[in-house]
Every structure is written in C-alpha cells, then in structure tokens.
Structure 1
Amino acid sequence: MPNRFTANPPPELSNSPQGWQQRTYSISELARLFEVTPRTIRFYEQEGLLAPQRRGQTRVYTDKDRVRLKLTLRGKRLGFTLAEIREVVELYDAMPDGNLRQLNRMLEILAEKRQELRRRLEDIRLMQSELDDVEERCREVLENLKATS
C-alpha cells in the first residue's frame, strides 16, 4: 500500500519510444493545483526542495517535483522545518533503501512533533489558569471598589 508521504504516481502512458512519459507542469499550473503563489514555489526551489527542468527561461516541473511540493506543503502544515522536510525527501531519493530509512525517520520526526505539541498544550493550560487567576483577582478588586464608592 503506498504511503502518502512517498507515493509517486506512475507516469502517464504515451506514444514515446520508451512507452512512458511523465506529465509536466508549469509553475502557474502547480501554483493553481496547490493553491500557493509562484513565489512560494520559487522559494522551495531556492531551498533545494524542487529542481525543475529549464526550457529557456521557463521552468518545467515533473511529477516528481509535484510530489515533492505536495510533501513539502504537507510537512509545513504538520510543523516540520524545511531542513526536516529536505532530509525526509532526500532519504527517499537515496534509494535503494530510501523508503525504509525515510519511513523510520518520519516516525522519529512525528514523535518529536507530538512531544513538542504536548509541551505546548501544557504551556497553554498553565497560561489559561494564570489568566483565570488574574481575571478573578481583577473582578474581586473591581467589586470591592464598587462597594466602597
């Protein structure tokens, strides 16, 4: 069963001599597909997460680039740093055991993210408690001021 972080869709069938041809995308097509700006895509390219081919001044993105962008955006939503995303993507590209290493590293990063979220949740609970205490004291002082005036 394909893993949603590693699944690379099969190239589309074509009339090429090899029988297979990858779908290509322009930067505007990818931007529209993922609802991001072309500037975002260029940023990820500068960061080494995407490597489009060039036809003159035009960037040409392959299915591999599309999947890498999808993984990058998903990783950002999950709170991964660009370095963590790059590491996971590069592990997959490192074949032949890249998929196994990638999945193990993903599990490590996910465990770290969960622990970080638990710490943040506890911090938020403590802050809420402190806010409640301050609010209660302010209301008491306000009531006392109203009673004496």
Structure 2
Amino acid sequence: MSTTYSISDLSRLLDVTPRTIRFYEEQGMVAPTRRGQERIYSGRDMVAMKLILRGKRIGFSLAECKELIDMYDPTGNKKQLDRFLEKITQRREQLQQQMLDIEQMQVELDTAEERCRTALEAF
C-alpha cells in the first residue's frame, strides 16, 4: 500500500498553507483523489509539490514547473531530468545577464551621483 497524505499532512510536511496546495490543484499540477469532501494526495502529488516549491525557489515559472511535472514517468525520468538540466542552464544564463545588468546600473548610478555631488559643490 502506497503512502497517502491529507491536505493538512502535506501542508505541514511542506510548510505551505492548504490554500497553496489547493491553488496548485486548481492549476492541474496535483490531482488528489476524493473521499467525500476529503482530499487524498499520493506520493506523486508529494513529489510534484516538492518540484513546484523547488522550481519557485530557483525562479521557474508556473508553466515551467507544470511542464516538468507533466513529464513525470514512474518507470524512468531521464527525459524529465534532461529537461530540468536545460531549464537550470537557461535560468543560470538569465541570472548571469541580470547580474551584468545590475553591475551596469550601479556604474550608471555612481556616475549620476558623482555629477550631482559635483554640481552641488558649485553652489
């Protein structure tokens, strides 16, 4: 018998609110079964939630997380891992570009500040 989780179990284990879990359910990223009004989450749902939360932490969009979750194959996840590596490379490149942009902005701010201070000294 496989492990199942209630919404309160998942929320406690993942340190998120039940509302967060319901949101991802509405987005089709987790799919609990129902027992009356109670949601029953599977191990696959737990893995999907972990992937979503990890993806969010490293800056993936919801669509990117969903793409990776949809690639899940319990018999082997090579395609999913290859795609994840591609996404990581893309995200790293975006971050490197953002760092360069920030450095350039800081140089421009330093220049503007210096000009302002020089102009103020003239008064």
Task: State which of 8, 12, 22 in structure 2 corresponds to 1:42.
Answer: 22
Give distance in 1, aligned partners of 2:43 and 2:113: 55
Structure-2 residue corresponding to 1:139? 117
Which protein has the bigger helix share?
2
Give distance in 2, aligned partners of 1:107 and 1:65: 22
CA-to-aligned-CA distance 1:82-107 (integer Å, 9 cap, x gap): 111111122123x64x5111111111
How many residues get paired?
123
1:1-149 to structure 2, matched below 5 A, reads: 21-93=1-73, 96=75, 98-145=76-123
Structure-2 residue corresponding to 1:12? none
RMSD in angstroms over aligned alpha carbons? 1.4
Question: What is the TM-score normalised by the length of structure 1?
Answer: 0.77
Q: Which residue identity does 2:56 align to in structure 1?
A: K
* Off by >2 Å, runs of 4+ in structure 1: none
Give distance in 1, aligned partners of 2:115 and 2:100: 23
CA-to-aligned-CA distance 1:108-138 (integer Å, 9 cap, x gap): 1111111111111111011111111111111
Higher Rg of the two aligned structures: 1
Q: Which residue identity does 2:105 align to in structure 1?
A: M
